[in-house]
Amino acid sequence: MTIQLNERALRVGTRASALARTQSGQIADAITAGTGRETVLVTVSTEGDTNPAPVAQLGSTGVFVSALRDALLAGHVDVAVHSLKDLPTAPADGVALAAIPVREDPRDVVVARDGLTLGELVPGSKVGTGSPRRVAQLEALGLGIDLVGVRGNVDTRIGKVRSGELDAVVLARAGLARLGRLDEITEVLDPIQVLPAPGQGALAIECRAADTDLVALLAGALDDPHTRAAVTCERTVLAELEAGCSAPVGALADVVEGEDGPGSPPELWIRAVASSLDGAVAVRRSASGPYAEPVELGRKLAAEMIADGAHDVMLPPVLDQPSSPGTIEASS
């Protein structure tokens, strides 16, 4: 079934936060520039916005996504814009992932008092993050910092540093870039230390699967093949590990030059980590493979991680059986 597009403005669904509205506005402008279609933003409230509990305790994946998808399927909006790292890995009936635009820098960053880096904070300093993935990998660095759960938008989180309630917060660089606030960053974390969430820095543009003309229009105007290949590989690892978007799993894939040099087909190189919640043990692996086979490469890497004990590592720590910090690391 094909639904013919008329010339009314495309309604772009967005969450209410400043970051969500900013990135959705940027996508709306890109749609207009790439297709000539006018757009209008429509704000949708999601469970992740209204429930103050830590994301890991909300009991489901997609807490920032489902309300936007419901609005899409009900016909209240024509396009939904998500942070890709919030998107469940399982497909949604009736919804098409029409485009994944060029990705922002996916790394995590620190915003700390007095321009400090994590390594310059004294032991016992309070560092805010709401992500089990970040907690696990930061704990593994052994810096002696006190990791504190924090929710809220960028202003709220950075405000806790400015007020002295926290000494630092850890955020995604991509969000600060889209908000024009890169000058507030005091350290960019190397992925060797802290791997980002699968899909971090990328946006997902969804529409109704039945709107085939709109799917093609958005794909032609916005989709970036290199970004799609990289995040597909990362999210395949997450799916194969049977881990949700708040699990202590990091992954980062890059499109790199083929082994035969310039002119040869590009390849994908991916690194991934599955950590215990306390950061005491981690399974790390890396792999490379054909650029055109991101799903196969992700499945291969995940299978190797599972064989190395990734599922056991991600279980909650047993408190009466202390363990020493360690890492299981290999590459293929």
Residues identified as active-site: 85-86, 133-134, 151, 157, 245
Which residues are CB-neighbours of 196 under 8 A, at least 6 positions away? Answer: 106, 107, 108, 172, 250, 251, 252
| Residues 127, 112: Cα–Cα separation, whole Å | 8
Sign of torsion over alpha carbons 78, 82, 86, 90: positive
- For 1-63, the DSSP string reads --PPP-SSPEEEEE-SSHHHHHHHHHHHHHHHHHH---EEEEE---HHHH--S-GGGSSSS-T
- For 276-326, the DSSP string reads -TTSSEEEEEEEEEETT-HHHHHHHHHHHHHHTTHHHHTSPP-TTS----E
| Residues 35, 223: Cα–Cα separation, whole Å | 13
Are the beta carbons of 203 and 83 closer than 8 angstroms? yes
Which residues are CB-neighbours of 234 under 8 A, at least 6 positions away? Answer: 198, 199, 251, 252, 253, 270, 272, 298
Q: Which amino acid is at 322?
A: P
**Angle separating helix axes 18-35 and 212-222, nearest 10 degrees:** 100
79-83 vs 10-14, strand pairing mode: parallel
For residue 119 the two structure tokens come to 């390594």
